[in-house]
């Protein structure tokens, strides 16, 4: 029998377990969606117990389907939606409330007050992040403040905080751990020392006793138990960082853009911590045990595929995500309609929590085809904005863009993306790079592959989209987009 590794991909919309063989082929996959709990405008929650149960279920399902046992896996990796915040009771292992999801905007006032008191640059310098609703620290404080007595219990050491990776690792290994990539999204970790920072914790009001141990992403997290008894946890990587590894973006300047729930550009900056002047974040790319961390610049866009899901679930205009392509193709162009999906405010490069979604340019002529087109085009415009920011920061023009994620199946979107960027857009043969990255990490640590040079060569080009749009037309689109962004700002009043 060959060698196998497992990867848990716990995402914003669902949980997956994938078994990968030594050639990098997917042998077995199981998937389950979980509920999006939307109690108020701008609020997004998940049930930690549902996520845990679904994760354990898909592990069992995928193992059963392959006729395998956990002990057949050389190692297992976790990759996860980042920043989403869980607090649980150390004794019972039960969460004290729903998880507050990364897209949730309820901490806007608090984030603004942090910027006011300490200055946005204080956080940027140490953590690579501006104070924003996106990150975990303010979400921790919010949960502690909402439930009487929790603050004291946290100080007394009775409560544990974790992002989703920690929550799952706690239950599969019994250890309270996280990795450097997930920790770099909390506003609590010093990027240089890769450790929790007392000043940051004091500023946000998070007792350090709640925090997990920070470990390298690709390393030994210990033996598993329960459904994974017989194997070891050998990787934890935030989903976007796993995609960087899955695209084998190990060289300085290697850049990928993932199109899923949101759009996330990551560009490898090597051992150097590069601070952005253009609204990008600085984050840990990944870290192998015993080696220094590799850093990255990141352009995070909250809503991309989630806008497609919104058309499907909230508006009922399409019945599946794929259907958006035929609907959008029913019209020759956007009919001058623009959509800014600022559902969670705007992340990179704007960082405006006062923005909300707008649909502009409507006339009697507009129809649902134009709306579908505007939703798709918004994804391409947002990606263009973060690519421009990256080029401004690094001074290096991109020759082509390496893309992945669920939305790259959409040929209309990818063609428009190439047109709007004016460079080739390259889709690899395996677009599921998140789960692949977690599997590669897990397999390298477990000895299935001897190092990054040895991982199966999967960076195979499947499709290349070349720009064909005339520059004048492109400029007109970009002017329309820029006006639409202006219209989305200043909606929420402080």
Ligand X SMILES: Nc1ncnc2c1ncn2[C@@H]1O[C@H](COP(=O)(O)OP(=O)(O)OP(=O)(O)O)[C@@H](O)[C@H]1O
Angle at 295 between CA 289 and CA 299, to 5 degrees: 135
In 3D space, the residue among 324, 220, 234 whose CA is nearest the CA of residue 20 turns out to be 234
The one of ligand X, Mg ion, none whose footprint includes residue 324, by CB under 5 to 8 A per kind, is ligand X
3-state helix, strand, coil in the chain (%, to 5): 35, 25, 40
The one of ligand X, Mg ion, none whose footprint includes residue 405, by CB under 5 to 8 A per kind, is ligand X
| Residue whose CB is less far from ligand X, 169 or 293 | 169
Q: How far is the CB of 237 from ligand X (least distance, A)?
A: 13
Q: How far is the CB of 322 from ligand X (least distance, A)?
A: 4
Q: How far is the CB of 371 from Mg ion (least distance, A)?
A: 26
3-state DSSP call for residue 489?
coil
Tell me the backbone φ, ψ of residue 377, rounded to 5 degrees: -65, -30
The one of ligand X, Mg ion, none whose footprint includes residue 122, by CB under 5 to 8 A per kind, is none
Rounded CA-CA distance 55/410 in Å is 28
Residue ranges in contact with Mg ion by CB under 5 A: 11, 239, 434
Quickly count: other Cβ atoms within 10 Å of residue 419's Cβ.
20
The one of Mg ion, ligand X, none whose footprint includes residue 14, by CB under 5 to 8 A per kind, is ligand X
The one of ligand X, Mg ion, none whose footprint includes residue 407, by CB under 5 to 8 A per kind, is ligand X
CB 58 within 8 A of CB 33: no
The one of Mg ion, ligand X, none whose footprint includes residue 197, by CB under 5 to 8 A per kind, is none
Give the DSSP H or E segment for 204. Answer: helix 198-204
| Residue whose CB is less far from ligand X, 440 or 449 | 440
| Residue whose CB is less far from ligand X, 128 or 341 | 341
Rounded CA-CA distance 351/111 in Å is 11
Give, to the nearest 10 degrees, the angle between helix 411-421 and helix 368-394. Answer: 40
Q: How far is the CB of 410 from ligand X (least distance, A)?
A: 4
**Looking at 58-155, which runs of residues are DSSP E strands?**
73-80, 85-89, 99-100
Q: How far is the CB of 129 from Mg ion (least distance, A)?
A: 21
Residue ranges in contact with ligand X by CB under 6 A: 11-14, 81, 260-261, 305-306, 308-309, 321-322, 324-325, 405-407, 409-410, 434
| Residue whose CB is less far from Mg ion, 246 or 467 | 246
HSE, CB side, 13 Å, CA atoms: give it for residue 258.
28
| Residue whose CB is less far from ligand X, 216 or 305 | 305
Q: How far is the CB of 344 from Mg ion (least distance, A)?
A: 17
| Residue whose CB is less far from ligand X, 12 or 163 | 12
């Amino acid at each position: 029998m060959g060698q196998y590794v497992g990867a848990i991909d716990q995402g914003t919309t669902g949980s997956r377990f994938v078994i990968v063989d030594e050639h990098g082929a997917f042998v077995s996959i199981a998937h389950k969606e979980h509920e999006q709990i939307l109690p108020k405008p701008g609020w997004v929650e998940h049930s930690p117990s549902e996520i845990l149960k679904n994760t354990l279920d898909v592990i069992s399902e995928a193992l059963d389907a392959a006729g395998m046992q956990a002990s057949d896996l050389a190692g297992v990796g976790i990759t996860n939606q980042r920043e989403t915040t869980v607090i649980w009771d150390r004794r019972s292992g039960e969460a004290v409330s729903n998880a507050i999801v990364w897209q949730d905007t309820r901490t806007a006032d608090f984030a603004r007050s942090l910027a006011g008191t300490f200055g946005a640059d204080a956080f940027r310098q140490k953590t690579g992040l501006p104070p924003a609703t996106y990150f975990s620290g303010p979400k921790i404080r919010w949960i502690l403040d909402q439930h009487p007595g929790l603050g004291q219990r946290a100080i007394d050491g009775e409560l544990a905080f974790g992002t989703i990776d920690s929550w799952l690792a706690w239950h599969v290994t019994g250890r309270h751990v996280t990795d450097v990539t997930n920790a770099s999204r909390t506003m609590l970790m010093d990027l240089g020392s890769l450790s929790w920072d007392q000043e940051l914790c004091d500023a946000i009001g998070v007792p350090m006793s709640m925090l997990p141990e920070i470990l390298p992403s690709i390393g030994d997290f210990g033996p598993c138990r329960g459904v994974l008894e017989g194997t070891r946890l050998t990787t934890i990587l935030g989903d976007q960082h796993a995609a960087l590894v899955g695209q084998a973006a190990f060289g300085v300047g290697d850049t990928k853009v993932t199109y899923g729930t949101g759009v996330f550009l990551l560009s490898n900056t090597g051992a150097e911590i590069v601070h952005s002047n253009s609204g990008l974040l600085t984050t840990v790319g990944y870290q192998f045990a015993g080696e220094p961390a590799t850093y990255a610049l990141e352009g995070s866009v909250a809503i991309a595929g989630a806008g497609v899901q919104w058309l499907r679930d909230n508006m009922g205009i399409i019945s599946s995500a794929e259907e958006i392509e035929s609907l959008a193709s029913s019209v020759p162009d956007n009919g001058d309609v623009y959509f800014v999906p600022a559902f969670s405010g705007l992340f990179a490069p704007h960082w405006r929590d006062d923005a909300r979604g707008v649909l502009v340019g409507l006339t009697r002529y507009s129809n649902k085809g134009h709306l579908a087109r505007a939703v798709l085009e918004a994804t391409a415009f947002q990606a263009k904005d973060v690519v421009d920011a990256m080029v401004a920061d690094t001074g290096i023009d991109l020759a082509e863009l390496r893309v992945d994620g669920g939305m790259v199946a959409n040929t209309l979107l990818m063609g428009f993306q190439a047109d709007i960027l004016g460079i080739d857009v390259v889709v690899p043969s395996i677009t599921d790079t998140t789960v692949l990255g977690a599997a590669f990490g897990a397999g390298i640590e477990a000895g299935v592959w001897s190092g990054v040079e040895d991982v199966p060569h999967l960076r195979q080009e499947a499709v290349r989209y070349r720009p064909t749009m005339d520059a004048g037309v492109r400029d007109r689109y970009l002017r329309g987009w820029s006006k639409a962004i202006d219209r989305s700002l200043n909606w929420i009043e402080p």
